[in-house]
Amino acid sequence: MNESEFIDLAEETMIAIEEAVEQSGAEIDYDNISDILTLEFENGSQIIINKQTPATQLWVAARSGGFHFDYDAASSSWHLDSDNSQELFACLSRYCTEQSGENVELIQ
């Protein structure tokens, strides 16, 4: 994947995350500033999602740690680089649930 393709995919994914947060009904505020998507919870904790163009990855910083996701063209989805069975939206759902204290399901 070239840089332009990565940027397009990453931007589409950030928008999809925003839409999933909206549809979840959870009390999560979000801001997307300079290609950094910040999810903020009522308790003040945050999850930061940003694109790392040189690595062609999406990086997620949550209370439980830092995570890197690679795009899998075969499944048209992002997967954790250390465990390909872990899909981005499923992971974000888990991280949001952990940080918010309420069940959060983000669906792409």
Look up the CATH number of the domain holding residue 27. 3.30.920.10
Distance CA 3, CA 56 (A): 8
> What is the mean predicted confidence (pLDDT) over 27-46?
94
Residue 82 lies in a domain: yes
Is residue 47 within 8 A of residue 61, CB to CB? The reply is: yes
Per-chain mean pLDDT for the chain:
95
* Residue 40 pLDDT level (bands cut at 50, 70, 90): very high
Residue 66 lies in a domain: yes
Distance CA 90, CA 70 (A): 14
Checking if the pLDDT of 8 tops 90, the result is: yes
Q: What is the pTM assigned to this prediction?
A: 0.94
Residue 105 lies in a domain: no
Residue 32 lies in a domain: yes
> What is the mean predicted confidence (pLDDT) over 6-11?
95
State the first-to-last Cα distance of the chain, in angstroms, to the nearest integer: 22
- Contacts of residue 33, Cβ cutoff 8 Å, sequence gap at least 6: none
Q: Which amino acid is residue 17, in one-letter code?
A: I
Q: Of 43, 58, 52, 53, whose CA–CA distance to 13 is shortest?
A: 58
Print the domain residue range for 62.
3-100
> What is the mean predicted confidence (pLDDT) over 8-23?
95
Copy the structure tokens of residue 22: 């909206």
- Domain count for the chain: 1
Checking if the pLDDT of 64 tops 90, the result is: yes
> What is the mean predicted confidence (pLDDT) over 87-98?
97
Produce one character per residue of 60-86: b if its CB has 16 or more CB atoms within 10 Å, e if not. bbbeeeebebbbeeeeeebbbeeeeee
Residue 83 lies in a domain: yes
Residue 106 lies in a domain: no
Residue 107 lies in a domain: no
Residue 108 lies in a domain: no
